[in-house]
Amino acid sequence: MPIRDVIASYGRCCVHPAFFDRFYEIFLASDPVIRPMFARTNFAKQKALLREGVSMLLMHLEGKPVGTACLDRIAETHSPKRMNVTARLYELWITSLVKTIKEFDGECTPEVEAEWRRALHAGVHYLMMQGVKAA
Ligand code: HEM
């Protein structure tokens, strides 16, 4: 199952205006430490930033330098020295995103879901490695 199936699935999710609303609803409720981290967040902006961030993660996995450059920047802001996004929080993020994808993408087969998990874990692994270097 190639990355292009994940990209196609992401396209089917992003056409729904409520996709990122639902993601943040699930993610913020997934653990009590998360909501306070977004206490001063402008969610209209944040949803657009995350939409772009996931695209960049997928581009990084396709080997596109623009994706890698964007992830390097996100790794720094989320690093132990800055927002301190831990492995546990990244795991909750992946679980919440996959749950949202399954709600919105009617064509998300178990194979597509498995490929999403593989892709998101690879991207998060990269973010954490770069974040440690930035620290
Ligand atoms: C692959 C996973 C993630 C991606 C792609 C991502 C992407 C982004 C992006 C693009 C921003 C905008 C600021 C910037 O560019 O640095 C941001 C902000 C933020 N992210 Fe993430 N993020 C991820 C995971 C997480 C996780 C797991 C948390 C844990 C709670 C988190 C918490 C935050 C917070 C608190 C902000 C600041 C919001 C504000 O400006 O008020 N992120 N994220």
Q: Is 57 in the pocket of ligand 1 (CB under 6 A)?
A: yes
- State the closest ligand 1 atom to the C-alpha of 53, by its place in the atom list counted from 1: 5
What is the pLDDT, as a whole number, of residue 78?
A: 98
Enter the tokens of residue 62: 């396709």
Distance between Cα 78 and ligand 1 center (Å):
7
Using pLDDT thresholds of 50, 70 and 90, give the confidence band for residue 135.
Answer: low
Q: What is the pTM of this model?
A: 0.97
Q: CB–CB of 71/60 below 8 Å?
A: yes
Q: Tell me 78's DSSP state.
A: T
Residue 24 to residues 42, 92, 111: CA-CA distances in angstroms? 12, 12, 25
Question: What is the rounded distance in angstroms from the CA atom of residue 96 to the CA atom of residue 8?
Answer: 19
Distance between Cα 130 and ligand 1 center (Å):
15
At what angle are helices 43-61 and 19-29 packed, to 10 degrees?
100
Q: Is 93 in the pocket of ligand 1 (CB under 6 A)?
A: yes
- State the closest ligand 1 atom to the C-alpha of 120, by its place in the atom list counted from 1: 1
- Say yes or no to pLDDT of 1 above 90: no
Mean pLDDT for 23-47 is: 98
* Chain segment 39-74, per-residue pLDDT in tens: 999 999 999 999 999 999 999 999 999 999 999 999
Q: Is 124 in the pocket of ligand 1 (CB under 6 A)?
A: yes
For residue 24, the enclosing domain spans: 3-134
* Chain segment 75-115, per-residue pLDDT in tens: 999 999 999 999 999 999 999 999 999 999 999 999 999 99
- State the closest ligand 1 atom to the C-alpha of 71, by its place in the atom list counted from 1: 5
Q: How many domains does the chain contain in total?
A: 1
**Domain containing residue 93: CATH number:** 1.10.490.10
